[in-house]
Amino acid sequence: MLAEIGHFALILALLVAAAQAVLPMLGAARGDAALMAFGRSAAGLQAALITIAFACLMILFGQADFSVALVANHSALSQPLPYRLAATWGNHEGSMLLWVLVLALYGAGIARFGDNLRATLQARILAVQAMISVAFLAFALFTSNPFARLSPAPLDGAELNPLLQDPGLVFHPPLLYLGYVGFSVTFSFAVAALMEGRADPAWARWMRPWVLAAWVPLTCGITLGSFWAYYELGWGGWWFWDPVENASFMPWLLGTALLHSAIVTEKRGALAGWTILLAILAFSLSLIGTFLVRSGILTSVHAFAVDPERGVFILAMIIGATGTALGLFALRAPQMKSGALFGSISRESGLTINNLILMALTAVVFLGTFYPVIMEAVNPANKISVGPPYYNLVFAPLSVPLLLLVTVGPMLAWKRDEAASVGRKLLIPAMLALGLFAGLSLWLGLDKAASAFGLALGAWLILGAGLVLGKRWWGAGGFSWRLVRTTPAATVGLALAHAGIGVTTAGIAAMSGFAAETILVMRPGETAQAGPLAVTMVGAEEVPGPNYRALRARFAVQQGGGERSLVSERRLYTVSGNQTTEAGIGVSIAGNQYVAIGDVQSDGRGQGLVVRIYWHPLVGWIWFGGLLMAMGGAASLSDRRFRIGAPQVRTGLAPALVPAE
């Protein structure tokens, strides 16, 4: 019964979305307030219907109703309840339902919180949003119906992959979807602006919170994914340049660019065309990411069951959405006002360079990700894959100028600035960072100069973030609590986010320069050395688990006088035959001690366990930095500036001037 209710709610949602895609657009063209108001109600109704459908599916998973094919294929009775519920989105069909749910919730958000939007703009945004909804709802209903029944129903279902039975899975996909799908809102904003032929400061101000609303969860999702891979996959790495990681990273890079270019459009009315282009591309890359995961065009650890039919459908959606938007861009953008001029040294030019570099970085990742697809299309025998060496070689050098600029940017004045005055403001942090660089290079040796540079770069960014707050807190009359109290949340957000990049940069620099590893066969009582660690195997034993058997080894890890004991396990899940590694990780601010065991093997001295020992200096900083960036974004989002009315637009409703689409 529940499955049918869910299915029916989904069909109704499709019909509502279809009406929402057409009527408000018509209303905006004719100046019909009733039709425009329909868009708002429809957005709410659509969100309610999809919420019902999603709740139905979740209850079905909770009840373990194996007469529903999806439930039978992706959960088993032996699975704990939280993981059975999380299995709702641990598969293709369910995750598509989550996709449309998030999409509809954002749509309802525009309807609910968009009171201060121009009515025609809001109506058009809701209509574009509904068009995307129609496409995805049709996709879900026609090619991947989550409510399909299975007859006869099996007594028990198939187990969820043990790797996915982890708290990481519960949060990682929903956060990423909030991010990906959030860019649909900015996409709708961009398309609506192109239709209206107007992208003014008010438009940018309305759009900015939505950019943040997508960017913050995306940042959290990527950070969490990286952390999860580190502790669950047992490879001791934190980023693999896997095609699907890249698929989430590209919208993040463009979203970051969009966040900054929208500021220029908001404050100075400039770069409007560029902002629109970024908004279109950020969502297009999210769609392409979805395509990558589900079409099976590339092999990846994230790949869902491969189904070319779905690939064709998603590709058609990408062509429809991105093609139309870029076509509209080619047609309309040249006529839009290009905004105020600015000097070559100014906040605007700083943000422009930031955008260009972020765009170039996106292009680097894009090329690396799609090069195999393109090469294979040219010559089918040409199977290649692009690995970390490419990215390290190209991505790292290109990001250095950007990171150097991050601290300079907020010190620049709008419109026009003098190099000398900027130099004076940055003198102290620059001296400190250079001093740190020189000191570290001498202390660690010149062969570690690149890592020393990375650490100094991190310090430069953190100092720069401090400088932003310092500049705000020390007025003409010295430090004042009043100035601290009145600091806008957006300024705090800026400082937090920029400091976050600094923390992440320092972590990456330390990891790439000073990580140590040893792989060897060990027997109880033996001691091995890895970097600053001395690891002794204390003992190894077989232990039974609830639904697995484990080989457990205990280690004593000594480092600089302190001692810690770590336990590493290798689990064999008896039902599915899957093996997982539970690494023993000793966490501290200075770095992580990481011990993982492998197979039993024999070397010259008899049988022993393969043990991998890693020393990962400052690795936690990488994720902590990501968290800081997300917190910065959230702080910025909470700025009350976004909730008070946007600057008054001189022209009121002028429907007659807007050409019908």
Partner 1 sequence: MKRLIFILPIIAFAGLAVFLGLGLTKDPKELPSQLIDRPLPEFALPGIADTPETQPELAGFASASFKGEPRLLNIWASWCAACPQEHPVLERIAAEGFPVYGIAWKDKPEDSRRWLARYGNPYAGVAADEQGRTAIDLGVTGVPETFIIDKKGRVRFKQIGPISPEVWEGQIRPLMQQLRAEA
Burial of 68 (0-12, 13-18, 19+ CB in 10 A): buried
Token pair for 188 = 């709708």
Q: Which is nearer to partner 1, 77 or 373 (CB)?
A: 373
Q: Which is nearer to partner 1, 193 or 501 (CB)?
A: 193
Q: Which of 381, 384, 446, 476 binds partner 1 (CB under 8 A)?
A: 381
**Residue range at the interface with partner 1 (CB under 8 A); choices 23-31, 81-89, 197-205, 316-324:** 316-324
**Residue range at the interface with partner 1 (CB under 8 A); choices 41-49, 311-319, 455-463, 623-631:** 311-319
Residues 65-84 that bind partner 1 (CB under 8 A): none
Q: Which is nearer to partner 1, 299 or 527 (CB)?
A: 299
Distance CA 204, CA 362 (A): 23
Q: Which of 501, 540, 544, 510 is nearest to 522 (CA)?
A: 540
CB of 610 to partner 1, least distance (A): 15
φ, ψ dihedrals at 647, nearest 5°: -55, 140
Should residue 298 be labelled a site residue for partner 1 when binding is judged by CB under 8 A?
Answer: yes
CB of 296 to partner 1, least distance (A): 6
**488 secondary structure, DSSP code:** -
| Interaction pattern, residues 345-374, with partner 1; x per rule: CB under 8 A | -------------------------x--xx
Q: Which of 152, 380, 544, 604 binds partner 1 (CB under 8 A)?
A: 380
Token pair for 442 = 């001498």
Q: Which of 89, 329, 391, 548 binds partner 1 (CB under 8 A)?
A: 329
Q: Which is nearer to partner 1, 243 or 591 (CB)?
A: 243
φ, ψ dihedrals at 563, nearest 5°: -130, 145
**Residue range at the interface with partner 1 (CB under 8 A); choices 80-88, 93-101, 206-214, 308-316:** 308-316
Should residue 419 be labelled a site residue for partner 1 when binding is judged by CB under 8 A?
Answer: no
Should residue 315 be labelled a site residue for partner 1 when binding is judged by CB under 8 A?
Answer: yes
Token pair for 254 = 């463009």
Residue 396, C-beta contacts closer than 8 angstroms, at least 6 positions apart: none
> Cβ distance 440 to 460 under 8 Å?
no
Should residue 295 be labelled a site residue for partner 1 when binding is judged by CB under 8 A?
Answer: yes
**Residue range at the interface with partner 1 (CB under 8 A); choices 106-114, 307-315, 446-454, 611-619:** 307-315
Should residue 254 be labelled a site residue for partner 1 when binding is judged by CB under 8 A?
Answer: no
Which residue matches tokens 């989430």? 248
Token pair for 389 = 């060496």
> Cβ distance 250 to 631 under 8 Å?
no
CB of 315 to partner 1, least distance (A): 6
Distance CA 345, CA 351 (A): 11
Distance CA 557, CA 656 (A): 76
Q: Which of 151, 155, 334, 640 binds partner 1 (CB under 8 A)?
A: 334
Q: Which is nearer to partner 1, 314 or 646 (CB)?
A: 314
What is the DSSP track for 310-360? HHHHHHHHHIIIIIHHHHHHHHHGGGS-------SSSHHHHHHHHHHHHHH
Q: Which is nearer to partner 1, 369 or 441 (CB)?
A: 369
CB of 305 to partner 1, least distance (A): 12
Distance CA 132, CA 129 (A): 5
CB of 287 to partner 1, least distance (A): 11
Q: How distant, in Å, are the alpha carbons of 231, 537, 655 from that of 566?
A: 14, 10, 69
Q: Which is nearer to partner 1, 192 or 213 (CB)?
A: 192
Should residue 323 be labelled a site residue for partner 1 when binding is judged by CB under 8 A?
Answer: yes
Spatial strand order of the sheet with 591-603 comes to 516-522, 606-617, 591-603, 584-588
Q: Which of 238, 218, 243, 242 is nearest to 228 (CA)?
A: 238
**Residue range at the interface with partner 1 (CB under 8 A); choices 44-52, 175-183, 322-330, 540-548:** 322-330
Report how far Cα 319 is from the mean position of its chain's Cα atoms: 23
Should residue 656 be labelled a site residue for partner 1 when binding is judged by CB under 8 A?
Answer: no
Q: Which is nearer to partner 1, 544 or 577 (CB)?
A: 577
Q: Which of 573, 570, 525, 565 is nearest to 551 (CA)?
A: 570
φ, ψ dihedrals at 61, nearest 5°: -65, -40
> Cβ distance 171 to 89 under 8 Å?
no
Q: Which is nearer to partner 1, 130 or 277 (CB)?
A: 277
> Cβ distance 178 to 95 under 8 Å?
no
**Residue range at the interface with partner 1 (CB under 8 A); choices 41-49, 226-234, 292-300, 488-496:** 292-300
Residue 447, C-beta contacts closer than 8 angstroms, at least 6 positions apart: none
Q: Which of 328, 256, 327 is nearest to 285 (CA)?
A: 256
Q: Which of 80, 327, 401, 475 binds partner 1 (CB under 8 A)?
A: 327
Token pair for 450 = 């690149």
Q: Which of 376, 390, 520, 576 binds partner 1 (CB under 8 A)?
A: 376
Should residue 330 be labelled a site residue for partner 1 when binding is judged by CB under 8 A?
Answer: yes
Q: Which is nearer to partner 1, 14 or 288 (CB)?
A: 288
CB atoms within 10 A of CB 484: 12
- Size of site (CB under 8 A) for partner 1: 35
CB of 318 to partner 1, least distance (A): 7
| Interaction pattern, residues 269-288, with partner 1; x per rule: CB under 8 A | ----x---x--xx--x---x
Q: Which is nearer to partner 1, 168 or 372 (CB)?
A: 372
Distance CA 355, CA 278 (A): 9
Should residue 437 be labelled a site residue for partner 1 when binding is judged by CB under 8 A?
Answer: no
Q: Which is nearer to partner 1, 602 or 648 (CB)?
A: 602
Should residue 308 be labelled a site residue for partner 1 when binding is judged by CB under 8 A?
Answer: yes
Coil, strand or helix at 391:
helix
Q: Which is nearer to partner 1, 111 or 359 (CB)?
A: 359
Q: Which of 26, 163, 326, 556 binds partner 1 (CB under 8 A)?
A: 326
CB of 337 to partner 1, least distance (A): 14
CB of 353 to partner 1, least distance (A): 18
Which residue matches tokens 């025998």? 381
Should residue 265 be labelled a site residue for partner 1 when binding is judged by CB under 8 A?
Answer: no
Distance CA 106, CA 36 (A): 18
CB of 263 to partner 1, least distance (A): 22
φ, ψ dihedrals at 303, nearest 5°: -60, 135
Q: How distant, in Å, are the alpha carbons of 172, 215, 260, 298 from that of 254?
A: 20, 10, 10, 22
Interface residues with partner 1 (CB under 8 A)? 273, 277, 280-281, 284, 288, 291, 295-299, 306, 308, 311-312, 315, 318-319, 322-323, 326-327, 329-330, 333-334, 370, 373-374, 376-377, 380-381, 383
